[in-house]
Amino acid sequence: MNFKNVDVINFLQIMSKALGIPFVWEEKDIRGKITLVSPKRFSPADAFRIFETVLDMHGFTLIRKEGSPVVQVVPSKEAPRFPSPTRTDAERTQESNFFVTQIIPLRFADANQIKAALTPLISRTAGLAVYAPANVLVLSDSESNVNRLVAIIKEMDVPPEAVKFAVVTLKYASARKLAPILTTLSTILPAGPG
């Protein structure tokens, strides 16, 4: 895998042949040059991960419609508008940069408060919506980002009795500067009894 200043379209054609995956794209959307240098050979699985990373760095993502062997290459900022696989919290696939939509039902925390806490953490190309009547989050992003955010959500969606408090002595940070941040974060935790 050695590419020097190769057009993204040429890179896609080479990787399609090497990986045996048919890719489709809108030519007007695909621009840029890629340089990738590797001193060793990679397995097909590792080569695909590197391929996904390179595309991500250049602002592209992959979408695979369910039941289709073809993979779409689209600009990341436009990916939420394309049909992508939708899954529930119970469904997890192997981590990749394929674009997915995850439905996340919350048991204890308020969906609007979780959304407020996650907003600074989501990628610029992600979509995050709240369906308040069911207290559900709908998150669209790459599989790897969705899995990371779902893990964070699980840590925040806990019953009030599971919340533990501790006194922490600060070594390198100012309590005055941290107080507003912690106050904001505390709004996502469920209120305790009484």
pLDDT, one tens digit per residue, over 34-78 is 988 888 888 888 888 888 888 988 889 899 887 888 999 999 888
The residue among 89 and 165 whose pLDDT is bigger is 165
Residue 193 has pLDDT above 50, yes or no: no
Residue 89 has pLDDT above 70, yes or no: no
Asked if 102 and 146 count as a contact pair (C-beta separation under 8 A), the reply is: yes
pLDDT at position 124, please?
A: 82
Average pLDDT over residues 161-188: 76
Residue 33 has pLDDT above 60, yes or no: yes
In order, the DSSP letters of the chain are --EEEEEHHHHHHHHHHHHT--EEE-GGG---EEEE--SS---HHHHHHHHHHHHHHTTEEEEE-TT-S-EEEEEGGGGGGS---EE-TT------SBEEEEEEE-SSS-HHHHHHHHGGGS-TT-EEEEEGGGTEEEEEEEHHHHHHHHHHHHHHS--GGG--------SSS-HHHHHHHHHHHHTTSPPPP-
The residue among 170 and 137 whose pLDDT is bigger is 137
CB-based burial label for 4 (10 Å; 0-12, 13-18, 19+)? exposed
Backbone angles phi, psi at 188, to 5 degrees: -85, -15
pLDDT interval class at 91 (50, 70, 90): low
